[in-house]
Amino acid sequence: MSIMKNTIITAAITALLVISSSVSMAQVASTAVPFLQIEPDSRTAGMGNAGVALADNATAIFWNPAGLAFQEGHEVNFTHADWLPNFGVDMFYDYLAGRYYVEGIGAIGAHITFLNLGEQEMRDEANNLLGTFSSYEFASGVSYGFKINENFALGTGIRFIFSNLVPPGTDVSGQTARNGTSVGVDFAGLYRSTPFSVADRQAQVRAGFNLSNMGPSIQYTDEAQKDALPTLLRVGWAYKMDLDRNGFNTITISNDISKIMARMEDDGTGMSSLRALVGSWDTLARNDGQGTVEVPLIDQFMIGMGAEYWYDNLFALRAGYFYESPNNGGREFITLGAGLRYNIFGVDFSYIYTLEEDHPLANTLRFSALLNF
């Protein structure tokens, strides 16, 4: 394998580190553009990444676009995070989302997601430095939610995806590298019960699902080798309750269960999203770099749970837990977070405490700022 090809694979693995808890060929063989799975807002990231049934701000675009149907007013939400800080690399993640309410139509959302993968070296077969290049990925799209009735809504979204891992036209072992492009589509639903009374305190139950990033595979070279999009099925519930009769103190408990639906065909190309919906409910055989590992269906599910406490809609404290089987990535961490609201302004932050030393995601901080008017 040439030095040039090693450089390109290194860039690809760097991108895959965004989601994976370790650098493994299994993750390389699973999906492309894993940055689409990064949880974009500090609020829900502080609740163990359990947000499919919350979806009550502009980041519903990511969690559950059906949540836009229950929102009025306008909002702008921006999140920034230095990514994989323990690696000492110049990677960062930015997410900008907006919601605009139109009377008689509802709330329309739009977003831009950007992941900077840092600067890479380009060398020839003799290890001579030919120069440097920057790698990055971004996505941009629109979403819309609409009510079926006062308690249930459906939502959808579409995004354009662009992945620039190496300069286009670079020769890689006789193949010409290209930028990866694709389109992803979401389909979601959200149920919110009519508020009811529990011990003279108001409560509400919510449940939702989101099937995100359905679309054609991404191709980076001339050959017919394609990598599947990270199509993700997420289902979950949430329970919100006032802790006093005046509603000054509230608590919300949420739980998400999610699963990557992407699969590889026998010829090594990405299975279409629609085929994967049917063909991904069994044991997954993958290569971990040392041999074939079988991942039972139960180990393919990821679990997130969290809680949020608000005082008078001014100050929030959050905590959560996320678990992924060691056979399927092995991410396991505790999340903490807090938020402040004043008038139309708000700020949130979250922190990841990993249960494994030297984990790529350890000490990750996210900061979000929002404007709601």
Task: Tell me the per-residue pLDDT of 105-119, one tens digit each, with 9 for 90 and over.
Answer: 889 999 999 999 888
pLDDT for 151-168, tens place per residue? 999 999 999 999 998 877
Helical H segments across the chain, by residue range: 3-16, 25-30, 42-45, 60-63, 273-279
What is the value of pTM for the model shown?
Answer: 0.87
Q: How many domains does the chain have?
A: 1
Q: Please, which residues have CB within 8 angstroms of residue 165's CB and are 6 or more apart in sequence?
A: 8, 11, 12, 15, 117, 135, 137, 177, 180, 220
Q: Please, which residues have CB within 8 angstroms of residue 128's CB and are 6 or more apart in sequence?
A: none
- Please provide the DSSP assignment of 256-320 as one string: EEEEE---B-TTSSBPPHHHHHHHTSSPEEEE-SSSEEEE-GGGGEEEEEEEEEEETTTEEEEEE
Give the SS3 label for residue 94: strand
pLDDT for 255-302, tens place per residue? 999 999 876 655 555 566 677 777 788 888 766 667 677 889 999 999
CA distance 214 to 31: 12
Quickly state the pLDDT bin for 28 (edges 50, 70, 90). Answer: very low
The bridge status of strand 196-198 relative to strand 75-82 is unpaired
pLDDT for 258-269, tens place per residue? 999 876 655 555
Output the domain CATH number for residue 11.
2.40.160.40
Give the rounded distance of the alpha carbon of 175 from its chain centre. 31
Its domain, for residue 22, covers 3-372
Cα separation values, 273 from 186, 279, 314, Å: 11, 10, 42
Give the SS3 label for residue 63: helix
